[in-house]
Structure 1
């Protein structure tokens, strides 16, 4: 309790991306990714207008024409409720199964359960955010869909190479039936209340059984899954803090017993991929990051080919 819940360091070292590096470490009790991003925006100003607060890019939604709105509402409203109930039932059922016995396949991305959080090695890579937007627009999906596909493909490439390098026949067979899942610190999906259901379960457990039981539930959830995944939208315009222009933003969470945390943060036309890994299990995080970037390039090439054919 004597240690402050935040630290701030400035490393006056020139890198390939910036003249110096600022490192801020927050305790998670101070807020989640979006609230901390809001705090950053409140402390910064637009580079183009030093008196203006920065903003985050907002997504626009298509609206139905007024003459079709009535029938559209009746038809889609019923289907919406059916999907809403079904998806929430499935999500809660999967959550209970995970707490009870459902566990990810043991692989080169997992380790044995430990009582203490292991030290993490953090790396990051900056790529062009416009590539992600291009795939999003061509495939008519969301940014999160592209990032999830990129993550899944990158992990598949990494594990395939690992198992190809191993000459053990039994180990190669594992790749065909491998099952990996990720936890999300806060997730609000269309037709889903999983985050609210989880919060309700934790709140009731805390009230009736206490903090130790809540800790046991959280630890079991992390132990039964492989990685933590999160993406946060950053400013859509260049910003500065105390008149110092910001070149890029990177974020990571050093929580949970998983050996891999993957975080994406956007900033203007840049996207930062941050990996926090247990180096004893993943000794080559840069190689894993290469696989993520290469997967995006393959998805982009395929999307452009589809666009040309169409």
Structure 2
């Protein structure tokens, strides 16, 4: 494309530029299951009348000026170029879930095919035989919270079509600081923030430059983002997670999730390669953390209109969440207690804000290439990725067609294992994307996570009865 010639062109944000670099070329895949058969023409009409079709990011080309700097340029959107009907089953003999996961696994290695200068960076795949709508959106257009809000703005609640879907954590826990007159508690809190920020920021810098996890059978590394992928789904009931949460004082759903991750990891490693991993080996996860002021995003319209506290785009930091490998510790709830202890310390720090700011500054002053290499090093030196997006509490419909599930994954990272959980109407589905030459059996890994939660629930139920 030529250089920008008018004032209508808008420069990309630092985050948007980062996700266009080859090392961090990320595409988000959202699979929406539908209860009724898909109607191609009706879905095209729905998309054309949705906020997505009028949002500036989704009707703009990505162009570069004479010095190579990226800009958004408004263009006409041809809906037929963005909607891809896929007729017939993906593969014979597979269930709908397995077929959709196979399609997404193959698609996740095809992210360069989405890049081009001829149309905006998104499309929609309609898997007709499996009643699944797949939204493929480049990460430069926005993060998970932004895209979730855009999608829900086009949906209606089953129980109340006039009301917006309710999203956000099951219970909003406010940060507790010192009460009135107890000034010393505020001082202790500030000192804690300073101390933990210093410790974790130093650790973050070391992990991004030199320090790396010990190699294990689930480790990735440089170049692994290009390897073929497989996808599996771990399914949880939020009610089960709440039972576990209630058995560990002041725990959150995220604490329970990370406890499940650590317990499931250890189950998988003990089964697949017993005695291959040293006791106490550190496995570090990279977790995406929303930095918006209102993580529940009840006012979806404000986000779409650019409310300063809810601005569109990519506004998230990352946390390094380490776990130490241990063989069975007896009490399944111990995984949640350890996860809570570690995450509580992380919450007292400004690590996520630091990571966001350092990426913003690096992209602005050193260039997107330097920033992408820094991020790439972090992923090469750690073991896995994890994110959790809270979806609607209620069942919803997309233009009258009831939604049966909402699942999300992203294109490949140097990690051999990435996990993304989305909750919806009392359920939570976690997509497990793996480099299949390193982790050939993601369905078994998914079962390890599911079994870990059931064991924790049984232990929690027993503890609550005592």
TM, length-normalised to structure 2: 0.59
The structure richer in helix per residue is: 1
Residues 271-280 or 210-219, more deviating: 210-219
Q: Name the structure 1 match of 2:202.
A: 93
Q: 1:219 aligns with which of 359, 363, 376?
A: 376
User: Which one has the bigger strand percentage?
Assistant: 2
Shift of 1:69: 3.9
Is residue 231–residue 263 contact of structure 1 (8 Å, CA) maintained in 2? yes
The yes-or-no answer on 1:11 pairing with 2:127 is yes
Supply the RMSD in Å over aligned alpha carbons: 2.1
2:348, 2:231 → 1: CA distance? 34
2:406 paired with 1:303: no
Structure 1 unaligned runs (5+)? 15-19, 165-171
Q: Which runs of 5+ in 2 are unaligned?
A: 1-115, 292-345
Give, in angstroms, the shift of residue 119 of structure 1: 3.5
How many angstroms apart in 2 are the aligned matches of 1:80 and 1:178? 31
Note the C-alpha offset of 1:281: 0.7
Write out aligned runs for 1:54-65 (5 A).
54-58=165-169, 59-61=171-173
> Matches of 1:153 and 1:116 in 2, distance apart?
26
Which residue matches 1:203?
A: 360
C-alpha change, 1:247 and 1:92, in structure 2 (3 Å) is same
Would you say 1:245 and 2:402 are equivalent positions?
yes
Q: What is the 5 A alignment of 1:154-169?
A: 154-164=264-274
Match of 1:174 among 252, 277, 294: 277
Q: Tell me the distance in 1 between the aligned counterparts of 2:425 and 2:196.
A: 34
| Aligned-partner Cα distance in 2 for 1:216–1:57 | 33
Q: Secondary structure at the match of 1:306?
A: helix
Q: Secondary structure, in 3 states, of the residue corresponding to 1:55? A: coil
Range with bigger deviation, 146-155 or 173-182? 173-182
Identify the match of residue 287 of structure 2 among 163, 166, 184. Answer: 184
Indicate yes or no: 2:190 matched with 1:81.
yes
Other structure's SS at 1:24 match: strand
TM-score by length of 1: 0.88
Q: What is the distance in 2 between the residues matched to 1:62 and 1:300?
A: 26
Matches within 5 A, 1:14-163: 14=130, 20-58=131-169, 59-61=171-173, 69-71=179-181, 73-114=182-223, 117-140=226-249, 141-163=251-273
Quick check: 1:120–1:254 contact (8 Å CA) kept in 2?
no
Q: Distance in 1 between matches of 2:437 and 2:152?
A: 36
